[in-house]
Structure 1
Amino acid sequence: MRERLPIEESLGEICERLGAARNLVVVAPPGAGKTTRVPVAILESGLAGDGAIVMLQPRRVAARAATERIAAENGWRVGEEAGYHIRFEKRYAANTKIRVVTEGILTAQLLDDAFLEGVSAVILDEFHERSLNTDMAVALLREVQQTVRPDLKIVVMSATLDAEPVAKYLGDCAIVRTQGRMYAVEIEQRAAPVSRDEPLEKHVARAVDDVLGRVDGDVLVFLPGMREIERARSAIRGSDVAVLPLHGSLSNDEQQRALRRADRRKVILATNIAETSLTIDGVRAVVDSGLVRQASFDADRGTDRLDTVRISKASAAQRAGRAGRQAPGMAIRLWSEGEQRFLEEFTLPEVQRVDLANTVLMLHAWGVKEPRSFGWFEKPPEERLAAAESLLEMLGAIERGAITEVGRRMARLPVHPRVARMLVEAAGTRLLDHAASVAAVISDERGGDDLLHVLAAPERLEPQTRQVKEQLLRIARGLPASGTAIRAVEDLLLLAFADRVARRRESDPLKGLMVGGVGVKLAPGVLTPALDAAPLMLVLDARHESRVAGAEATVRSALPLERGALERLFKQHITREAEHTWDAKSEKVVARTVERYRDLVIEEDPHGRVDLAKAGAAMAAALGPRAREIFEKDEACAKLLARVALLREHVKEQPWPAFDDGQLRQLLGEACANKRSLAELDLAEALRGALVYPLDRLLDQHAPESLEVPSGSRIKLEYAMGAKAPVLAVRLQEVFGWLETPRVAGGRVAVLMHLLGPNFRPVQVTDDLRSFWSRAYFEVRKDLRVRYPKHKWPEDPLTATPEAKGRRRF
């Protein structure tokens, strides 16, 4: 007899709602049975008619497991009444009514047959994961439903889902919620799993040892990736338990070992592959690290990222639910209650964080001319769409917003557009088999084969990689030859990664600069003798592992690149020009001949010929931000600026120039024209040129550079920015007989007089000469007569003859 599950109580309502409308959202907690019972209920209700029910599962292991459980519960055989279709494996017949498929399979079916002939209903399971393919599937299905298949039924299911937005997108359809988990799960929160003193695997091992002694049954441990799984596997000891890994890179047999019942207790170390859909028999406890490895794409840098991040509250609920599917269980969370409060409610959808190049190409192949106007369930950020279109244009897949013939061929291949371009170019040539080996390795997320080894010996592939190669070959052999002059597989890689050309830094052979200005550093072991001997390299795998804006991308795979390959395949992108730059040390413009591939300097000659017109422009650009500093540093200019500033303050009826930063920058730029060095510039003349008639005459009239004193000498006036008046520093004996203080600015500003003794040091500072003669002079005279008895110090300075003898020359 079939086990009764919580979803059973809602199956009648689900079928009733779906019979009354085309679309439905089902929200049911983990273990409710929605994955195995809902498609069967729809089939048995007759809602699918003569058509098949296709159910989308995000992961291959879940697709197999769900199909096998559906068949087992109903006494069916896998491949007959219920079947599945995943990459490299198809087990269903033409009359199979329930077909469980992975995301890429459904997308390919939609591209091949937009009418979905023979399909009556599509179920999107575990929608809360919000993978890019799931988002695209619901959008494409909705468009099909609204255009050519109004009878198509769409069901969205999830355990943790914000259901209202999905229901609204599907035409305000009904939402059916199933309440309650079948068995209770006790949740314990523990301290943060990672500390300076103890690595993650030690925390995990201690928690596993603890829970094995408290709960009967198997233990499911959630870890972020394969590396952490292997470390934890080494840390967990005990001959009485089987410690088994479970992740997407394992073979089917290896995955089944973790899923099947064993003759002893199991500790299953899994990635988030076990978070949804799967019911692993015998699991009574969960140990959750709270971490997940999350892929993303840096649109600004054009590189992939792989970060270990905190899971969301929704994911934490899903993981804990694994412990209560068949009996009461326990979940130990290796983070504190305080940290729990700060977790995001849901995981950021992939459409907001991953590379969209493949998706945008698919949309163009689908017939969408403008991806921005497509009916997205959640529209991606503009910068990600723009980055995808830029890459596709570089690859020749789209041109002026329309898909090309090359793009249509690329869309037929189930690989990233970069790899697809490589295979399209290899089609019909002797290099196709070799190219397919390389393409299979690049497309293998497991990283099982070494790309450099495969380049040298393409026949040496792991079994799973060989499967990928054979699939790609079957498709590529049906493509026409492109006619591009390809000499080697390295040429194909250059076509695919044309924006990943990098030049190694002379100062550090492990570092380089890539097209686009992205700094890169080679991971340990990547620098081969051949790579070390080449100034240029082709970066095949570059990832940013830090959120720091200036961080370099880590290169895990790169090839030496011959200059000739660039010239052969991308001659139109190589430019040569004389580049003029400002050399701050010599204070002049220097020229170098620069050769670039796109924006990357690939060769340069530091001894180029200087073009004065370009030199002047380069100097103006370099010095412009420092224009005020440069003018004020020049003594003549500083004095002229101060003179004009004084008159702008006191002779306001005249239109004196402001000489603000913008005007000074403009004047400096004009002075730089056809000049090469700072020493060549006549900066004072540039300022004077801004004083149009009659301002030039009025400047000398109202703010003279010097004044004639009673001795007949002409003494400089000292002007300074911000000073209230200019300073006249003159020997006291030269101004005998001068009754009134001299004035400037049309008589509106009295000069500040520094009256000097024979030693040229001030004995009095005043702007009221008349007052000085009548009061202070007699006290000053007493002192000076003692200190300088050989000099004349008359009792009546106003009638005395001024003396210029011994004065300081200017």
Structure 2
Amino acid sequence: MTPLPIDAHLAEIVSRTRERRSLVLVAPPGAGKTTRVPVALIKAGVLSPQHPALVLLQPRRVAARAAADRIAAENGWALGEEVGYQIRFERKYGPRTRIRVLTEGILNRRLIADPFLEGIGAVVLDEFHERSLHTDLALALLREIRDTVRDDLVIVVMSATMDAEPVARFLIDAPVMHVEGRTFPVEIVHRPTVRPSSAEAVLAAVEEALAAGGDPSDILVFLPGAEEIRRAGARLRPLAEREGLLVLPLHGGLSTEEQRRPLCPSERRKVVLATNIAETSLTIDGVRTVIDCGLARFASVDPQRGLDRLELGRISRASATQRAGRAGRTSPGRCLRLWSEREHRGLAEADLPEIHRVDLCGTALVLHAWGQADPRSFGWYDPPTEQRLNAAEDLLTWLGARDTSGRITPLGRQMLELPVHPRLGRLLIAAAHDGFVRQGAALAALLSEKDILSFQPGGTGPRVSGRGSSDLLVRLDLLAQAEHARFSPGLRDRGVDPGGARRVVQVRDDLIRTSRRLPGARESWNEEPDEDLMLRWVVLAYPDRVVRRRGSEVTGLMVGGRGVRLAPESVVRDAEFFVALDPREDRRGGTSEARVRLASALSVDWLEELFPDAVRRERLVRFDEERQRPVGVNTFSYRGLPLREDRNAPVDPAEASRALAEFLQPRAAAFFQEDEAAAAWLARLTFLTQALPDLDGPVIDDAVLAEILAEASAGKRSVDELKRGQLLPLLKGRLTYAQNQWLDEHAPEALVVPSGSRIRLTYEPGRPPVLAVRLQELFGWTETPRVARKRVAVLLHLLGPNYRPVQVTEDLSSFWATTYFQVRKDLRARYPKHSWPDDPLSARAEAKGSRRS
């Protein structure tokens, strides 16, 4: 067995673990912690004799299989005997297996079925720094088990890059060990590239690595996803043929055999194109050159909108360190980073833990099955936000997995038996109950795995045309064709990913076996479900994503008020209502609508049948702005989403008046301004309260106007009818008799001028009142009139015979003494029939022309 750095510390690791039944171990990549520590704990007898097995948790399926393989090889054991593994849909261990390598989801389901962990003496959580949702939950559940019913349970947490102290505190002062690894220097070279994950960038980087010469070692290339890996592999093909290279993909969508190939020694020089599953745990012997594009895809969900996101983003500095460390496992190496040093300094220190970015529905279901009525009071290692927990709880209720008091339902317990999201568990249960396990499993597999259709920018794309009831049924037909064609590579020319289709079929078959164990499951061997039945299963799984089409054939409004837009490749173009199966944030083109590639039509009648408590029928009275009157509306809605409306229902007069008032009250001030008499009266009152604040006059603000308008609306059925009424008496009614007298005296509506005419004053905010009057009507008036207890002089607009202003003044006596004679000179020639006396103070005022009042 090859010596590893961890070997010298195994005795101390065993001693500390035996003493405290827990340990937090930090050791660099390549130190050997994954394969050596579990074996040391088993051989040293640290585990209780009553519980002799050890569980080693790995965050990824590829790593779990690889770790089990390596432990078996290092110890001369048989895989499936002394050491084995279990991942989703795959199990290889027996009753005598002492070390079981599991993914965390497998352990969490085991804990629900057996909260005493019978037979398991120790659990080792490896690569804890990745902070998957399952890891966080597993750690909290294990601590609760140890603190309540299994004080002999050993818990070991291991990682290459993590802050050990918070974990140690959570495990009640667990000892912490830092082990220095065998460090080989890794030369870091930055090669900034505009599109670091492009096939061209990968080709250039591989060519540079080959040109370095003198180093025949393998090359590991990190890329964001399977599609980038496929493109890079195609672009590298000519170079690989010329240089004798073996180009191998490594990602979660491959078969078990395909995932093992990159990990095995090869006579040819390998170029392994991998996603971030190769960051930790996996050891790819022979790699001394790493090419890192610095990107990864991060799954997340917006709890407020209920939308999934799979975003391409920069990795953290911790991930970059892990990736570079792959080059220095066995000897000095080199890491080619396709970004600048400046960009590197701007990277986040660590990735955001999954518990703060992904859907918590499955986690909440596990906690309810655990007996935790309120997940908020659970002993989380790192508590999620209230908003995320609320969103998860709401969805469980919608799916029927949780009752209104927070207890798990029998339906929820059935969902836990299925290795899929609770949504798809609900679909599988419905299909099994209806007697169509195989078809339900196929739909669930299509929804759980990567899309089998490939939409290439500028490519031919899938041969999907026309209109249909469901994009999911289109894929179901194509899956059958792919299976019939035995997943031929030629399927790619038709837009179907043969590898993705093969993976879906594998998952389908595994789900068939699991679903057949459900209570009440049955199989209709000689029948096929009709289309409507299958689409009803889909609605049961996505009750929160019902959409009503609006505006056009591609836009709609989803439950919760979110706008959605169908992608061009969707065939669901005619149904008024559909389920958005994959709504994702898409701000391309400046739109905030969620983009939907997978949609499935539904009938409104199904909603009434499947979710009777969520459908509401209401009779409302609303104000119709177009018709300017209240109208009766009979509404039919599903979880707040309007489904149908009848806007011509009869309206009770009292309800009509109330709706009229409710509509106009926020607009009361503007409504009164549209009434000339009311607006003039309000202007007078406002002027006087500002001019004479010491009088403590009444205040009629927007709130009071709204009250007055509510009174005026009584018995009215439209805005026009209300406008025909008298608003001024209602305003005056807010003042006492004395206050109305005070208003008329100190802010008069009009003034009587020397000619005998009664001329209206104009009141405007922030200005003195204006008296617009013909000059001849003021002869003999020596002083400017004043209002507001004579504190405010009236602004005189002196008009000519044509009623146009010839002078504006606040000092009438000064005007007569000076300006009048110039005005007289200018106007006398134009209007000789009008009086232009030499002495206007002694002349008789004239009211010629039309009177203005």
**Deviates most, 89-98 or 667-676:** 667-676
Q: Which residue of the partner structure matches residue 464 of structure 2? A: none
| 1:524 and 2:573 are equivalent in the alignment | no
- Aligned pair in 2 of structure 1 residues 550, 657: CA closer, same or farther (>3 Å)? farther
Could you give the per-residue CA deviations for residues 117-145 of structure 1, whole angstroms, max 9, x where no partner exists? 11111100000110000000000001001
Q: Which residue of the partner structure matches residue 498 of structure 2? A: none
In structure 2, C-alpha distance between the alignment counterparts of 1:19 and 1:752, rounded to whole Å? 99
| 1:208 and 2:252 are equivalent in the alignment | no
In structure 2, C-alpha distance between the alignment counterparts of 1:265 and 1:551, rounded to whole Å? 47
**Conservation of the 8 A alpha-carbon contact between 1:216 and 1:284:** no
Could you give the per-residue CA deviations for residues 727-764 of structure 1, whole angstroms, max 9, x where no partner exists? 11111221222233222223222212222222223333
In structure 1, C-alpha distance between the alignment counterparts of 2:660 and 2:221, rounded to whole Å? 64
- Aligned pair in 2 of structure 1 residues 783, 428: CA closer, same or farther (>3 Å)? closer
**Conservation of the 8 A alpha-carbon contact between 1:193 and 1:200:** no
Matches within 5 A, 1:359-758: 359-399=363-403, 400-445=405-450, 447=452, 451-453=472-474, 464-481=503-520, 488-505=533-550, 507-527=551-571, 531-546=572-587, 551-577=592-618, 587-589=628-630, 593-605=634-646, 607-609=648-650, 613-614=654-655, 624-668=665-709, 670-672=711-713, 674-677=716-719, 680-681=722-723, 684-685=728-729, 687-723=731-767, 725-758=768-801
Q: Which residue of the partner structure matches residue 27 of structure 1? A: 26
**Conservation of the 8 A alpha-carbon contact between 1:212 and 1:219:** no
Partner amino acid for 1:381?
T
In structure 2, C-alpha distance between the alignment counterparts of 1:544 and 1:592, rounded to whole Å? 34
Could you give the per-residue CA deviations for residues 67-105 of structure 1, whole angstroms, max 9, x where no partner exists? 111111111111122111112222222222211111111
Post-superposition offset of 1:628: 3.8
**Conservation of the 8 A alpha-carbon contact between 1:368 and 1:374:** yes
Q: Which residue of the partner structure matches residue 120 of structure 1? A: 121
Post-superposition offset of 1:217: 1.0
**Conservation of the 8 A alpha-carbon contact between 1:647 and 1:702:** yes
**Conservation of the 8 A alpha-carbon contact between 1:437 and 1:459:** no
Post-superposition offset of 1:633: 4.9
Please, which runs of 5 or more residues in structure 2 have no aligned partner? Answer: 455-470, 484-500, 523-528
**Conservation of the 8 A alpha-carbon contact between 1:103 and 1:134:** yes
Q: Which residue of the partner structure matches residue 339 of structure 1? A: 343
Could you give the per-residue CA deviations for residues 487-520 of structure 1, whole angstroms, max 9, x where no partner exists? 8222222222122221222x42122221111222
Matches within 5 A, 1:222-241: 222-236=222-236, 237-238=238-239, 239=241, 240-241=244-245
Partner amino acid for 1:509?
E
| 1:319 and 2:364 are equivalent in the alignment | no
Partner amino acid for 2:580?
V
Matches within 5 A, 1:41-56: 41-50=40-49, 51-56=52-57
Q: Which residue of the partner structure matches residue 109 of structure 2? A: 108
**Deviates most, 85-94 or 66-75:** 85-94
**Conservation of the 8 A alpha-carbon contact between 2:546 and 2:578:** yes
- Aligned pair in 2 of structure 1 residues 255, 455: CA closer, same or farther (>3 Å)? closer
Across the aligned residues of Structure 1 and Structure 2, the Cα RMSD in angstroms comes to 2.8
Normalized against structure 1, the TM-score is what? Answer: 0.92
**Conservation of the 8 A alpha-carbon contact between 2:24 and 2:158:** yes
In structure 2, C-alpha distance between the alignment counterparts of 1:626 and 1:783, rounded to whole Å? 49
Q: Secondary structure at the match of 1:249?
A: coil
In structure 2, C-alpha distance between the alignment counterparts of 1:22 and 1:657, rounded to whole Å? 79
Partner amino acid for 2:473?
L
Partner amino acid for 1:570?
F
Post-superposition offset of 1:647: 0.9
In structure 2, C-alpha distance between the alignment counterparts of 1:627 and 1:104, rounded to whole Å? 61
Q: Secondary structure at the match of 1:281?
A: coil
In structure 2, C-alpha distance between the alignment counterparts of 1:231 and 1:670, rounded to whole Å? 73
In structure 2, C-alpha distance between the alignment counterparts of 1:7 and 1:686, rounded to whole Å? 91
In structure 1, C-alpha distance between the alignment counterparts of 2:587 and 2:36, rounded to whole Å? 44
**Conservation of the 8 A alpha-carbon contact between 1:431 and 1:488:** no
Partner amino acid for 2:7?
E
**Conservation of the 8 A alpha-carbon contact between 2:472 and 2:600:** no
Q: Secondary structure at the match of 2:765?
A: coil
Partner amino acid for 1:488?
L
Could you give the per-residue CA deviations for residues 689-748 of structure 1, whole angstroms, max 9, x where no partner exists? 44344323322222121111121111111111111x211111122122223322222322
- Aligned pair in 2 of structure 1 residues 390, 760: CA closer, same or farther (>3 Å)? same
Could you give the per-residue CA deviations for residues 757-796 of structure 1, whole angstroms, max 9, x where no partner exists? 2222333333333444445444444444444333223333
**Conservation of the 8 A alpha-carbon contact between 1:30 and 1:181:** no
**Conservation of the 8 A alpha-carbon contact between 2:759 and 2:852:** no
**Deviates most, 81-90 or 250-259:** 81-90
In structure 2, C-alpha distance between the alignment counterparts of 1:98 and 1:411, rounded to whole Å? 25
**Conservation of the 8 A alpha-carbon contact between 2:445 and 2:504:** yes
Normalized against structure 2, the TM-score is what? Answer: 0.88
- Aligned pair in 2 of structure 1 residues 56, 465: CA closer, same or farther (>3 Å)? same
**Deviates most, 785-794 or 798-807:** 785-794
Partner amino acid for 2:36?
R
**Conservation of the 8 A alpha-carbon contact between 1:425 and 1:482:** no
Could you give the per-residue CA deviations for residues 372-430 of structure 1, whole angstroms, max 9, x where no partner exists? 01000100011110001111111121122222222222222222111222233344432
- Aligned pair in 2 of structure 1 residues 204, 130: CA closer, same or farther (>3 Å)? same
Post-superposition offset of 1:550: 5.9
Q: Secondary structure at the match of 1:498?
A: coil
Partner amino acid for 1:712?
G
**Conservation of the 8 A alpha-carbon contact between 1:729 and 1:755:** yes
Partner amino acid for 2:346?
F
- Aligned pair in 2 of structure 1 residues 470, 677: CA closer, same or farther (>3 Å)? same
Could you give the per-residue CA deviations for residues 515-542 of structure 1, whole angstroms, max 9, x where no partner exists? 1112222223211xxx333211122222
For this pair of structures, how many residues does the alignment match? Answer: 800
In structure 2, C-alpha distance between the alignment counterparts of 1:170 and 1:188, rounded to whole Å? 40
In structure 2, C-alpha distance between the alignment counterparts of 1:397 and 1:800, rounded to whole Å? 98
Partner amino acid for 1:202?
E
Could you give the per-residue CA deviations for residues 530-581 of structure 1, whole angstroms, max 9, x where no partner exists? x333211122222224499962222222222123322322344333445555
In structure 2, C-alpha distance between the alignment counterparts of 1:456 and 1:189, rounded to whole Å? 47
